[in-house]
Copies of this chain bind each other. A is one copy, B any other.
Amino acid sequence: MLESIDTLQQLLFDLAGVLPADTEPLFAMTRWVQLEANETYIRKGDASRRLAFIEQGIMRAYLIKDNGEEATLFLRWEGQFIASHDTIIHQQPSRFIYKALEPINLLEIDYGVLEDILKLHPEYEPLRNFFLMRMLADSLKTMESFVTQSPEERYRELVTEQFDLINRVPGKYIASMLGITPVSLSRIRKRMHAKTKS
């Protein structure tokens, strides 16, 4: 249950040479959050500025479209960072909802508190760059997949690169993350079986 702190301390040492013993001011301001499956982490309209590291479980970020349907923006799982980007980047109430798909353990910190700590302890700054770059890398990869690949190709890549994900996440969320309907995803699966089984 404390592996995340080990991981992050190791990261801070690798990035900036900060010894685990010197990370107390940072981790003193973090707190553990446990959520059950289907429990909401961040509500629509929530103004809190949360940054979290996922120890275990899967989180889904989505929004409600004008027509009332949900659109899944992304999924994040153990070992990844998740942030309320509307409140942190745009300083606006969140248009997105963050909900646990499985029981989840998070190590969270308030972004404003983190900024205060960084003023006093600039030696932690590389950690902020790290998670910003990680989130940027993730979004750029998604963008790339949308301009270079068809929905079927995006799904095939998901199956080969993140196989456990499709076993842990309901297909309708996978579909909307790929930018298609669940009906289309079913057809893609059928086409893939047809090609493979021949």
**A residues in contact (CB < 8 Å) with B:** 63, 65, 71-74, 85, 88-90, 122, 125, 128-129, 132-133, 135-137, 139-140, 142-144, 146-148, 176-177, 179
Contacts and interface: CB of A to CB of B under 8 A. Distances in A.
A140 B135 CA distance: 9
A140 B139 contact: yes
A89 B122 CA distance: 21
Contact of A148 (B63, B132, B139): B63
Contacts of A71: 144, 147-148
Copies in the complex: 2
Nearest to A86: B140
Contacts of A74: 143
Contact of A143 (B65, B73, B122): B73
A43 to B, nearest CB: 18
B143 A89 contact: no
Contacts of A122: 122, 125
Nearest to A135: B136
B135 A73 contact: no
A90 B136 CA distance: 11
Contacts of A139: 136, 139-140, 142-143
Contact of A136 (B65, B89, B177): B89
A89 B132 CA distance: 10
A94 to B, nearest CB: 12
B85 A147 contact: no
A132 to B, nearest CB: 4
Given A125-B125, A132-B129, A148 B65 contact: yes
